[in-house]
A and B are shown apart, each in its own frame.
Chain A
Amino acid sequence: MHPSRSAPASFRDRTNEFRAAVESARRHAAPSPAAASASGGGGGPLDDSLSAASAQSEFKNRASRIGLGIHQTSQKLARLAKLAKRTSVFDDPTLEIQELTAVVKKDIGALNNAVMDLQVLCNSQNESGNLSKDTTNHSTTVVDNLKNRLMSATKEFKEVLTMRTENMKVHENRRQMFSSSAAKDASNPFMRQRPLVAREASDSAPPAPWATDSATTPLFQRKKTNGDHGASSSSTPAFMQQQQLAVQQDSYMNSRAEALQNVESTIHELSNIFTQLATMVSQQGELAIRIDENMEDTVANVEGAQGQLLKYLNSISSNRWLMMKIFFVLMVFLMIFIFFVA
């Protein structure tokens, strides 16, 4: 029973002493018949608590499993965050990150369901059973605690994802810088006809004008190449033009897709903000309450109750005065009545 002494042990374990004292007390107690009855008596309350305990222990098992799950998920999140922080342009562990992200997402979904189930179980137990108030408080607090932990894990997950998308944008920009210079040279011959080509890809202008333009560009290009059909000397430049066309089309599509993605992510961020606001509003200020807060309140309440009782007592006694006054007045009237009549 001795705790390992490698950690600074600034407490003294008296458990062995206690067990020894229990043993000696038991030996001093009355011999076997009393011991048997005592053990029978001890078994009684044990049975009662066992049935309640079995219902409770399922709750406890589930809660501890969920707790373990949350702990493991946060460890995975820590690994994910480390991976996402690596900002090299070319050595991007995309596959690994995506795998881990999928795993974490699944875990969080499963944990969410488990917590919901646990809440349902807790509610049903609290309403149906004849459990004590302390037990219901304990169960609800356990569920709240698990929900809070899950929520913080989810928030962390969102933050890691936003960081990841930002890093991806940075990578994309750098890639654009490296590759768009080549694209710009290729597009120079078409500069006069297609001024829109050189537009910045990461700009989030609405895609509509691009869509129509890029739709027309291949047509126009094809018409142009069809026009140059006959000349064989121009076929190779036409072929080259077509290749460059294909590259440009791809880059148009890519940049359009990126623009779409940007808008999508912006909307996501906005929704994040709104959920954040909602959680901020709903998060109760339990974190900052002092432990001895209720102690003073109960004292104040008791004193308040006492004051109320005293006031009531006063009002009762004052009523007595009122009654006496009324009685006196009645007596006076009676006297006058008797005096005049008699």
Chain B
Amino acid sequence: MALSLRKKQLDLITRMLHLNQQQSSPAGGGEGEEEAYKILVVDGPCISLLSTVLRVGDLRKHGVTLHLNIHKARQQVADAPAVYLVRPTPANADRIAADAAAGLYASFHVNFSTSVPRPVLERLASATAASRSAHRVARVADQYLDFVCLEDNLFSLAQPRAYVSLNDPAAADADITSVVDAIALGLFCVAATLGAVPIIRCAAGGPAEMVAAALDARLRDHLLAKPNLFTEAASSSFQRPVLCLFDRNFELSVGIQHDWRYRPLVHDVLSLKLNKLKLPTEKYDLDDSDPFWVANSWSEYPEVPKEIAAQLAKYKQDVDEVNQRTGGGRDGVEFDGTDLIGNTKHLMNAVNSLPELTERKKVIDKHTNIATALLAQIKERSLSDYCDCEHDMLRKGIVDRKTLFSLLSGEGTKEDKLRLAVTYLLSFEAPPPSELEQVEAALRESEVDMSAFLYVKRIKSLNTQFSAAPSTASRNSIVNWAVSAVTDGVKNYLSDERQVALTRRVEALMEGKPNPEVDNYLLFDPRAPRSGTGGQFRGPFREAIVFMIGGGNYGEYRSLIEPGQSSQPSKHVIYGATEILSGVDFIQQLAELGEKAGLGSGSSNLPSQ
């Protein structure tokens, strides 16, 4: 399990692309290996899932000639097998049945990205039986791949607006249950891909407990059937990972904070989606294949241009060297007739190094453009001041009133001001009311939509009224629990430690020593017998999967991964969330909740999504 999640997902996808047959070993034994060229048919969500791990060149390598959208009109390719990777919805099942009836492809290998529910399977079966084309369907399989793996240790379930759905005061019970089930299914896919049954820990109350219970039930049901997905892995992995479930309300401030590092800035300001960046003039890919990105994405922004300049200088140096060696500076080097072989050797080396040099130049150009675009935005919105102010408020607990008010009435988009105000609200347990009024007045002056601010304020004020700890997992107590969780989170910042509260909890859970912060966390072990109380394994764990319900963040990701990498022996942490939110998106969700709770200021300043 030291393998990254992404590699495991890629392995499974590759095996699926090879029609789920035994992967023949590359060394020897290629007799009779016939590569069929297949067509890949996917739907929208599955394309996002594939696009972060595979490129078109990789598809071609695995023998896929065309990749098509299931809902587009497709034509017949009579002699090729087709591999379908779709979500198990009735619409997709109907479409597959229609394709089979029309005989579009020679054989159909249908893979569903998660477990297909029985009704959908029967629907597909009856449709194909009715059109007498069921013989064309060669295989139907559940793949358990329904998560988007953005990096080696970062995944997202691509379930947008989960925070809103869970915290909506007007949400029906059925809605909440369906959201919780979807999250549990996604987590089950992650566990199945890793091949390990985790031990689940979560705080009591709130969505985390509901998700934990649902996941536990699902795992238990699955483990009853033998052989199941986890049987082979059980013997190999001695260590089981711990799955820590958290809710966004635990620490709201991380979700809206302005972060000054390169990668979170790009995500926030330039809206990085699925490792894809779209500037007005260009489109870029930012992932592990980009060496500059891998090396510099976590450094603070001012260092990035310096690094770019250094790389550019080195590149120019290398180019000059190549030119010199191949007689570019011919006045200095005399063309020695006897040194023919030496010259051609140099020429060949130069030619071989040309692609590498062009690659480096492209990377440098790309990051220059990105950094320039960022700089323009940063200057316009004076983001550095925002970052400093928020950092002071959160970490040191001091507020510089002058900067605060100058920022609130100065430059920056409306969302920036709102985020600053909410951070102010969250960093002090009881801000002086006069100051609070001044902040609110400043916000109103700048015509900022107050819904989010009022919503957070209300949650904070509700805490003073509700003192009892929430016990049941009903809709009302989510709000109660959210309230207590928010103020808990606030308390965390008053401590001196640099670490984010989440990291502290995760470390405590992984170490397994008694710790007042995490002792009252619930524990679910799907492998343990339900009735018995024996063997509640509390750690220490070497591997952890941290899941944030309601939206995660690159800053949080970094703060979790960093200590794990530096500690001895290295601990492996995988981070995931229902979606990876930028501060802008999250504040919009808060504003939406505020509107639903009827706290809106009535002005239609809410930016549409």
Contacts and interface: CB of A to CB of B under 8 A. Distances in A.
A12 B229 contact: yes
Nearest to B115: A12
A25 B119 CA distance: 13
B125 A134 contact: no
B513 interface: no
A18 B253 CA distance: 49
B60 A15 contact: no
A5 interface: yes
Interface in B27-71: 28, 30, 32-37, 39, 44, 47-48, 50-51, 54-57, 59-60, 63, 65-69
Interface stretch (B338-346, B475-483, B556-564, B595-603): B338-346
Nearest to A63: B37
A7 interface: yes
B519 interface: no
A277 interface: yes
A134 B66 contact: yes
B287 to A, nearest CB: 10
A26 interface: yes
A8 interface: yes
A135 B78 contact: yes
Interface stretch (A102-110, A240-248, A285-293, A331-339): A285-293
Given A11-B141, A52-B76, A138-B39, A262 B55 contact: no
A180 interface: no
A68 B140 CA distance: 28
B75 A10 contact: no
A135 B80 CA distance: 9
A80 B104 CA distance: 44
B78 A52 contact: yes
Contact of B129 (A8, A29, A269, A273): A29
Contact of A138 (B22, B77, B115, B125): B77
B497 to A, nearest CB: 39
B111 interface: yes
B322 to A, nearest CB: 14
Given A270-B344, A273-B347, A25 B130 contact: yes
A21 B116 CA distance: 14
Contacts of B170: none
Contact of A21 (B15, B125, B354): B125
B279 interface: no
A11 B122 contact: no
A277 B141 CA distance: 46
A8 B233 contact: yes
Interface in A42-63: 42, 45-46, 49, 52-53, 56-57, 59-60, 63
A205 interface: yes
B484 interface: no
B195 A134 contact: no
Contacts of A46: 103
B78 A287 contact: no
A22 B128 contact: yes
A9 B121 CA distance: 21
Interface in B325-341: 338, 340-341
Contacts of B233: 8
Given A5-B227, A134-B75, A287 B56 contact: yes
- What is the predominant secondary structure among interface residues of chain B facing chain A? mixed
Given A22-B134, A135-B77, A292 B192 contact: no
Interface in B372-422: none
Nearest to B229: A10
B144 A10 contact: yes
A7 B77 contact: no
Contacts, number: 216
A227 interface: no
B78 A266 contact: no
Interface string B97-119: 00000110010000100011000
A141 B63 CA distance: 10
Interface string B141-179: 111100000000000000000000000000000000000
B124 interface: yes
A236 interface: no
B588 interface: no
A208 interface: no
Contacts of A94: none
A242 to B, nearest CB: 33
Nearest to A53: B78
B251 to A, nearest CB: 32
Contact of A68 (B33, B57, B75): B33
Contacts of A17: 121, 140
B338 A42 contact: no
A24 B15 CA distance: 31
B139 A39 contact: no
Given A75-B30, A134-B74, A18 B12 contact: no
Nearest to B350: A273
A327 B66 CA distance: 58
A289 B75 contact: no
Contact of A291 (B51, B111, B124): B51
Contact of B76 (A49, A72, A277): A49
B190 to A, nearest CB: 11
Interface in A238-293: 262-263, 266, 269-270, 272-273, 276-277, 280, 286-293
B133 interface: yes
Nearest to B138: A15
A10 B111 CA distance: 12
Contacts of A273: 344, 347-348, 351
B525 interface: no
Contact of B77 (A29, A38, A132, A288): A132
Contact of B103 (A45, A68, A72, A292): A45
A294 B347 CA distance: 39
Contacts of A204: 338, 340-341
Contact of B125 (A10, A18, A45, A137): A18
B65 A142 contact: yes
Contacts of A96: none
Nearest to B47: A292
A236 B435 CA distance: 120
Nearest to B339: A204
B303 interface: no
Contact of A10 (B12, B21, B30, B34): B12
A188 B132 CA distance: 95
Contacts of A132: 75-77
A264 to B, nearest CB: 12
Nearest to B36: A64
A98 to B, nearest CB: 24
B125 A286 contact: no
B299 interface: no
A315 to B, nearest CB: 27
Contacts of A280: 354-355
B37 A29 contact: no
Nearest to B125: A21
Interface of A: 1, 3-15, 17-19, 21-26, 29, 38-39, 41-42, 45-46, 49, 52-53, 56-57, 59-60, 63-64, 67-68, 71-72, 75, 132-135, 137-138, 141-142, 145, 148, 203-205, 262-263, 266, 269-270, 272-273, 276-277, 280, 286-293, 295-296
Given A9-B229, A21-B126, A134-B68, 9 more contacts: A56-B79, A60-B36, A68-B32, A138-B65, A142-B37, A205-B338, A287-B57, A289-B55, A290-B56
22 contacts: A3-B22, A6-B22, A10-B143, A13-B140, A15-B137, A15-B140, A21-B121, A25-B122, A25-B126, A38-B130, A39-B132, A41-B132, A57-B79, A67-B34, A134-B74, A135-B75, A135-B77, A141-B65, A205-B338, A291-B59, A292-B274, A292-B276
